[in-house]
Amino acid sequence: GAVVSQHPSRVICKSGTSVKIECRSLDFQATTMFWYRQFPKKSLMLMATSNEGSKATYEQGVEKDKFLINHASLTLSTLTVTSAHPEDSSFYICSASDVQGAKYEQYFGPGTRLTVT
């Protein structure tokens, strides 16, 4: 089946530094990838939608200069949290969309837990 990986699974960084999270579709080509943020015991909040080779579309209230998204290939998207602060600590989940078939199902990565100290 469709597998999506994320790296790293956990990261701790100091306030003011930047951290990059990778999302890879391992066995299919994903023209669209999605980035979500999840606070403890809360639902997934869509941050942005990225299409291969074009600029990401950010949801309202998400700072695009803070959360840089690059989707350089059909199997890789990256999220860079720039100048991270403790309030950026969260669980970040990516998903990749398989546009074949009627379901347009999203396949989710295992998530990355970011802690900013």
Partner 1 sequence: AQKITQTQPGMFVQEKEAVTLDCTYDTSDQSYGLFWYKQPSSGEMIFLIYQGSYDEQNATEGRYSLNFQKARKSANLVISASQLGDSAMYFCAMRSTSGTYKYIFGTGTRLKVLA
Interacting residues toward partner 1 by CB under 8 A: 32, 34, 38, 41-44, 46, 49, 51, 57, 91, 93, 95, 97, 99, 102-108, 110-111, 113
Q: How far is the CB of 24 from partner 1 (least distance, A)?
A: 15
- Using CA atoms, how far residue 71 sits from 14, 33, 35, 100, in Å, is 26, 8, 11, 19
Q: How far apart are alpha carbons 2 and 19 in whole angstroms?
A: 26
Shortest CB 111 distance to partner 1, Å: 4
Q: Which is nearer to partner 1, 31 or 80 (CB)?
A: 31
